[in-house]
Structure 1
């Protein structure tokens, strides 16, 4: 039977960790955004230095970050969870995103990664429900 002091100590430790995590998470997110901004500024500096070495001829301006299409991340577990949430077979899920059932299986097992066009299709169906997915499948067939 655990003693009162050990139970109290473990509960205090758990609560302290929870509080620290709540305080550190916003800082972690801010740090990540600062690192992205620093990387963009370094790219701009290197571009300007190249221009200066080339005799002052201006290079083509780099498009803004907002104008670039947003890159999507892919995780095998996420694809598997999405397919099971929609209640689709691998072949039906593949038809929904423009791939074969075998490709979907390979994505879910981590043997392959979807192409960028397929990743965009995966991102577009993340917010769908079962009924909307079924409707889209009917229109594809």
Structure 2
């Protein structure tokens, strides 16, 4: 009876393995295709995140600059004044100032003036009134204030 029982057990195990083999094969194929699809979706999400960051940077930059041919906005009319790196550099050159002189006039560092002119950063709000005031200030007036040691910005 022992041989019959053991033979029966072996046969049942063999049939069970045979049945499971087909089902496991299908599951393995499905699992592999799901992993491939997940990897592709992860790549797509990363690409979209990069595109979103680039777009938000461009939008932030666009908010802080105005096209050169656009009319200058005046804070007195209730409009928000917009800083433009190109106009700031042109203003400094129009006044005949070096970056060091401009930094002394505004009460900031030469590196800050350079970064403002290259568009890497925008000035803080406390410097904007002095920068916007340069639009109506002449070269002699700025040189006189530099000679006295009084800049346009107050800390």
The alignment's TM-score, normalised by the length of structure 1, stands at 0.49
Instruction: Indicate the structure (1 or 2) with the bigger Cα radius of gyration.
Output: 2
The alignment's TM-score, normalised by the length of structure 2, stands at 0.45
